[in-house]
Amino acid sequence: MPSTTFRVFRYQPDQGDPQPYHEDFNLEHDDKITLLDAILRLRNEQDGSLAVRYSCRSAICGSCACRADGRTVLACMEQVESLKERNGNGHVQVDPIGNFKPIKDLVVDLRPFWEKFKSVKPFLVPDGAAPQKERLVSKEAMQKIYNESKCILCAACYSECNSLAADPDFVGPAAFAWGFRFAADERDGQRRNRVKLYSGDHGVWDCTRCMFCNERCPKGVDPRDAIEKLGSIAFQEGVTRDKGARHAKAFLISMRTGGKLNETLLVPYTDPIGAPLDTPFALQMLRKGKAPSPLPHKIKQLDEVKKLMKNVKETI
Ligand code: SF4
Ligand code: SF4
């Protein structure tokens, strides 16, 4: 029978332990045991004060998200033996999800997550009078929002988000996945207002595109893709005043006019008011040969680039 050491994050301010620490527990177990079942056995057999949040044990409720050896997972979806095989050192470290304040052991304060979820208006707001019966939607139309509809609000993506680590007010990947789910629902009448709401400070343009949310989402929601699609809707709806949108637009203009990125254009186009403040720095970079020439340039195959851009536009 395998035996595993679990290095578990402990934090019990109500028990006079104001500082967090890690505690080792040894457990003999079957070779097929999930991380959640192992944690529950530790609680039931070794320390009844170990706090953990869980409910369905079937990857549906999303309550048992935690970090196993630094990666956010649903504890009920992870086999202990697979985790050990992955880290190769015979023990498993268990921590609460990141970007949240721990309350007790593996339980965190989820209130900011729910506040941000509510802030994107995660419900349909149809235009016009209600129909006699239901509003019918084609299968093809529903297919466009199928991925985002799978979200179980487990906060695994939120835990891994680099933008949130830098800016705790960033709205976050899960909330934006829900935002897209409704912005792209053909029954909704608030498409433009939604992208205006999502494009402000701490909004979609503040995502660093690190892709961790896509990588760690246990349900394949791909929240980063949803954020990208919200950016596209913002462009389609003419909501492009935000610095992030202007930055993206500068890329487009640069590619369309020169066939390659003109970095010197990016700053003044993105932030025309603040850009003059960066002039001394830009001149210094030019002098040191660290900045590209500010003069317009065109590559020989500009027509090819334009064709590619047209193809991309037609496929999105
Ligand atoms: S997008 Fe994925 S990781 Fe994020 S809350 Fe939804 S199911 Fe969980
Ligand atoms: S891609 Fe964006 S939303 Fe997703 S984890 Fe990275 S910074 Fe956060």
Residue whose CA is at the smallest distance from ligand 2 atom 3: 173
Q: The domain containing residue 220 runs over which residues? A: 111-236
Is there a single domain that holds both residue 172 and residue 263? no
Q: Are residues 231 and 122 in the same domain?
A: yes
Distance in Å, CA 174 to ligand 2 centroid = 10
Q: Are residues 141 and 41 in the same domain?
A: no
Place of tokens 């970090």: 67
Q: Are residues 296 and 189 in the same domain?
A: no
100 and 146 share one domain? no
Distance 210 CA to ligand 2 centre (A): 5
Q: What is the distance between the alpha carbons of residues 148 and 222, in angstroms, rounded to a whole number?
A: 8
Write down the mean pLDDT value for the chain: 93
Which residues lie below 8 Å from residue 158, measured CB to CB, with a gap of 6+? 97, 99, 100, 113, 164, 172, 173, 174
The token pair at 105 is 């052991």
pLDDT reported for residue 249: 85
- Closest C-alpha to 161, from 119, 100, 92, 218: 100
**How far apart are the C-alpha atoms of 24 and 4, rounded to whole Å?**
10
The residue contributing the CA closest to ligand 2 atom 6 is: 210
Q: CATH code at 42?
A: 3.10.20.30
Q: Are residues 232 and 117 in the same domain?
A: yes
Contact in structure between 270 and 251 (CB atoms under 8 Å): no
Question: Buried (b) or exposed (e) across 262-275, using 16+ Cβ within 10 A?
Answer: bebbbbbbbeeeee
Rounded Cα distance between 220 and 190, Å, is: 26
147, 153, 207: which to mutate for ligand 1, most atoms within 8 A of CB? 153
Q: Which residue shows structure tokens 């989820």? A: 110
Mutate-to-test residue for ligand 1 from 74, 150, 151, highest number of ligand atoms within 8 A of CB: 151
Q: Which ligand has the shortest distance to the CA of 203?
A: 2
CB atoms within 10 A of CB 90: 10
Our mutation pick for probing the ligand 1 site, out of 58, 152, 159, counting the most ligand atoms within 8 A of Cβ, is 152
- DSSP 8-state secondary structure symbol assigned to residue 131: P
Of 181, 208, 236, which one is at a domain's C-terminal end?
Answer: 236
Same domain, 41 and 55: yes
Are 213 and 174 members of one domain? yes
Predicted pLDDT of residue 315: 60
Residues 88 and 135 in one domain: no
Query: Are 226 and 120 members of one domain?
Result: yes
CATH of residue 166's domain is 1.10.1060.10
**Same domain (yes/no): 182, 279:** no
Predicted pLDDT of residue 316: 56
The count of structural domains within the chain is 3
204 near 227, Cβ under 8 Å? yes
Intervals of the chain under pLDDT 70: 314-316
Final residue belonging to a domain, choices 83, 108, 133: 108
Sign of CA dihedral 18, 20, 23, 27: positive
Q: What is the pLDDT of residue 314?
A: 62
Do 146 and 164 share a structural domain?
Answer: yes
Given 108, 143, 165, the domain boundary residue is 108
151 lines ligand 1 (CB under 6 A): yes
